[in-house]
A and B are shown apart, each in its own frame.
Chain A
């Protein structure tokens, strides 16, 4: 091993690891054109980063992002919710077959026991906001169980606002059922309920707060 004579040969390691600043990197690359010693040294060490990348080191992982665990938990929740939905949907399909058809899927979605209801109803867009929602209802002895999935498009430039789910009763009175922050690109999965029975419900609306404007609406209850 020859002792380094060029004062910049020490940059060879950082250069190969990609750790030099862009300015240093460009400067050293230029230097390599005219310095045989550095070029030789870079050539001799060039295979090592590839080996390092395969090393089962104690420290190979970058620091995990701070939202890793909550993000993974949310992903698992979404996955489980989807599986439950698929499960509920297949129960509905089976029930439809057993009953010989003639019954709309959505109408009996809540019938088989405690599973979450399916979301057969697409709410109608009322505003220009790029938001969509699917909703499902289940008639209960005590009222109506409501499941809702609401999604604001990722690219939405809408100011941060709160969405409010309201039920409009047959007599025109309004009940607030849920409220949440509208976040672009994220599903809001909401389970709620009202004491009104399905035939007492005239409409379901999602309103923006504080503007009060209606964003989505459905009368298919």
Chain B
């Protein structure tokens, strides 16, 4: 979802279509991906 929504610049609806999942799933996965990334960075000592 990060690749589709950020790097490829698709909207949630477009990403949902391309990935074959509901738009709500794209949103929640995007949210959890960013949270996981932030948590990972924090454990590495980086504070974005």
- Is the Cβ of A45 less than 8 Å from the Cβ of B6? no
- Is the Cβ of A13 less than 8 Å from the Cβ of B39? no
Q: Which of B8, B24, B26, B34 contacts A63 (CB 8 A)?
A: B8
Which of A16-24, A146-154, A207-215 lies on the face that meets chain B? A16-24
A177 at the interface (CB under 8 A from B): no
A1 at the interface (CB under 8 A from B): yes
Known: A1-B35, A9-B31, A13-B34. A19 touches B12 (CB 8 A): yes
B6: A residues at CB distance < 8 A: 17-19, 49, 52
B31: A residues at CB distance < 8 A: 9-14
Chain B interface residue count, CB cutoff 8 Å, equals 27
Q: How far is the CB of B23 from chain A (nearest CB, A)?
A: 9
Q: Which of B3, B9, B13, B33 contacts A21 (CB 8 A)?
A: B13
**Which B3-40 residues have C-beta < 8 A from chain A?**
3, 5-13, 15, 24, 26-28, 30-35, 37-39
Identify the closest chain B residue to A24 (Cβ).
Answer: B12
- Is the Cβ of A13 less than 8 Å from the Cβ of B7? no
Q: Which of A11, A44, A59 contacts B27 (CB 8 A)?
A: A11
Chain A, interface size category, equals: 20 to 34
Q: How far is the CB of A58 from chain B (nearest CB, A)?
A: 9
Q: How far is the CB of A79 from chain B (nearest CB, A)?
A: 30
B24: A residues at CB distance < 8 A: 10
Which residues in A have some Cβ–Cβ distance to B below 8 Å? 1, 9-14, 16-21, 24, 44-45, 47-52, 57, 59-63
Which residues in B have some Cβ–Cβ distance to A below 8 Å? 2-3, 5-13, 15, 24, 26-28, 30-35, 37-39, 41, 48
Some 23 contacts from A to B, beta carbons below 8 A apart, are: A1-B39, A10-B27, A10-B31, A12-B31, A13-B30, A13-B34, A13-B35, A14-B26, A14-B27, A17-B5, A18-B5, A19-B6, A20-B11, A45-B34, A45-B35, A49-B6, A51-B41, A51-B48, A57-B7, A59-B7, A61-B7, A62-B9, A63-B8
